[in-house]
Amino acid sequence: MKIYLIRHGETDWNREGRIQGQEDIPLNENGRRAARQTALALDSVPFQAVYSSDLCRASMTAKIVAADREIPMVCSKDMREIGFGDQEGRFIARIKDDPQDPIHNFFLHPDRYIPPKTAESFDSLYSRSDRFLREVILPLEGKYDTVLLVAHGAWNRSVVNPLAGVDRAHFWEIPMENCAVSILDCKNGRLELEERSRVFS
């Protein structure tokens, strides 16, 4: 079973360099355009099912990429981006410039990141993405040949990084631009990484 894992298209907060986390920010026009280009590039891929984060920037991307295929789409909270609580909406550049900022290590030293009270930990992110794959996606092998997943930058890396042998300290090593596509292969209940990340826009 082939799994196409896609990051959502651009939002205004992406463009402005703000932390989105689980804020429900819609795609902007550039995000919709990139999703349409990705849809064209994947037009020949015979998707049979679509799973998306329930945040609208992901579900909008999923609908565009799925195009006119008459296939079911399931939206899941387990596919949401890592949460930052009351830190969401802040400018990333300012956070990176301040070593005392509570979110600073998330971007520059992820292996040392200790989330503030209202934020989610990397352990929680990895746990829920792993649970989602084990409980929802892996059982689809034998039922579907090709599945589309649309989620978020950190969530997608929590799936791709372990398969690529990338540890927590190098969490950001693999580029994951908006609408980046990663391809996974599922055989006998095990996932392998076929392609790390490609952008068609």
Dump the DSSP string for 3-26.
EEEEE---BHHHHHTB--TT--PP
Active site residue 16: no
> Which residue out of 8, 10, 88, 120 is catalytically annotated?
8
Sheet strands side by side (includes 2-7): 73-76, 49-53, 146-151, 2-7, 181-187, 190-198
Q: What is the pLDDT of residue 114?
A: 97
Active site residue 152: no
> Is the alpha carbon torsion for 88, 92, 96, 97 positive or negative?
negative
pTM for the complete prediction?
A: 0.97
Note whether 166 and 75 are within 8 A (CB). no
Ranges under pLDDT 50 in the chain: none
Q: What is the pLDDT of residue 113?
A: 98
Residues near 29 by beta carbon (within 8 Å), at least 6 away in sequence: none
Give residue limits of the domains in the chain. 2-84+121-198
CATH 3.40.50.1240 fits domain 2-84+121-198? yes
Q: What is the pLDDT of residue 13?
A: 98
> Which residue out of 10, 81, 88, 120 is catalytically annotated?
81
The mean of the pLDDT values for the chain is: 97
Q: What is the pLDDT of residue 89?
A: 98
